[in-house]
Amino acid sequence: MTLESSGPDAPHGGNAPLATLDAAALARLRELDPDGRHGVLTRVLAAFETSLARMLVQLRAELDAGDPGVVAGVAHTLKSSSASVGALALAASCAAVERRLRSGAPGDLHADVERLVSDGEAALRAVGAMLRP
């Protein structure tokens, strides 16, 4: 299976453009399995998709519960995995939210969670488009 990143205006069932995954990050993953025989890219993307979907459920629960420690933990967990698959907007949001929460800086936890959920949903759409074109 050949996986290509989607263009910024590719449809995804709504009116908003589809988020894209960073081409350089995808190229690094492809280098691990140059001929694609082992399906490394597909397996990594599928594992990320499963993990992200589970963490989005956890984040949505925090819209009501509002536990900064849980939100910081989820942001920390998602930060590097998002960057490794090229979901750079999500990785940047995770880094910013985690940094703010860990430092104890005042802010709006509800807005932080909404930002992570929104960026996470966009990353899910992008990964899904690559896995199921």
What's the confidence (pLDDT) of residue 113? 94
What's the confidence (pLDDT) of residue 90? 97
Helix 40-65 vs helix 109-131: crossing angle, to nearest 10: 160
Q: Who's near 131: CB < 8 A, 6+ residues apart? A: 3, 42, 45, 46, 49
Structure tokens at 57: 């459920």
How is domain 23-131 classified at the CATH fold level? Answer: Four Helix Bundle (Hemerythrin (Met), subunit A) (1.20.120)
Q: Which tens digits make up the pLDDT trace of 24-71?
A: 999 999 999 999 999 999 999 999 999 999 999 999 998 888 899 999
- Separation of alpha carbons 114 and 80, rounded Å: 19
Residue 6 pLDDT > 50, yes or no?
no
What's the confidence (pLDDT) of residue 133? 87
- Separation of alpha carbons 26 and 129, rounded Å: 14
- Break the chain into its structural domains and give their ranges: 23-131
Q: Which tens digits make up the pLDDT trace of 55-111?
A: 999 999 988 888 999 999 999 999 999 999 999 999 999 999 999 999 988 789 999
